[in-house]
Amino acid sequence: MHGEYKMPGGKLVVADLEVRNGKLTRVRISGDFFLEPDSALTLIDLALEGLAADAGNTQHAAAVEAALGPNVRMYGISPEAIAVAVQRALESPA
């Protein structure tokens, strides 16, 4: 599944994922945004991995935010923008 979202005034976020047994799996977030440190991208993928596909944007965004903590800087995206990209992937034709 593939979904994209361009955050207003921000950057493009892309979500590629699968759903197995109602859970997100093989989650890969990418796009033209910036993170400090770069390793935070792995934390985002891991935060979403295994979450219920039907948890919704609020819970998906909260999981990303909790995984990143206060020392990660996001430029051009937000946890909410990532959640929208995930939702769009879930709504895409299989």
Q: Tens-digit pLDDT profile for the chain (94 aa)?
A: 999 999 999 999 999 999 999 999 999 999 999 999 988 999 999 999 999 999 999 999 999 999 998 889 999 999 999 999 999 999 987 6
**Class of 2-91 in CATH:** alpha beta
Instruction: Say what the pLDDT of residue 64 is.
Output: 96
pTM of the predicted protein model: 0.93
Helix (H) or strand (E) holding 75: strand 73-75
Instruction: Say what the pLDDT of residue 94 is.
Output: 61
Q: Which residues contact 44 (CB under 8 A, 6 or more apart)?
A: 29, 64, 67, 68, 82
CA distance 92 to 82: 15
**pLDDT tens string 46-64:** 999 999 999 999 999 999 9
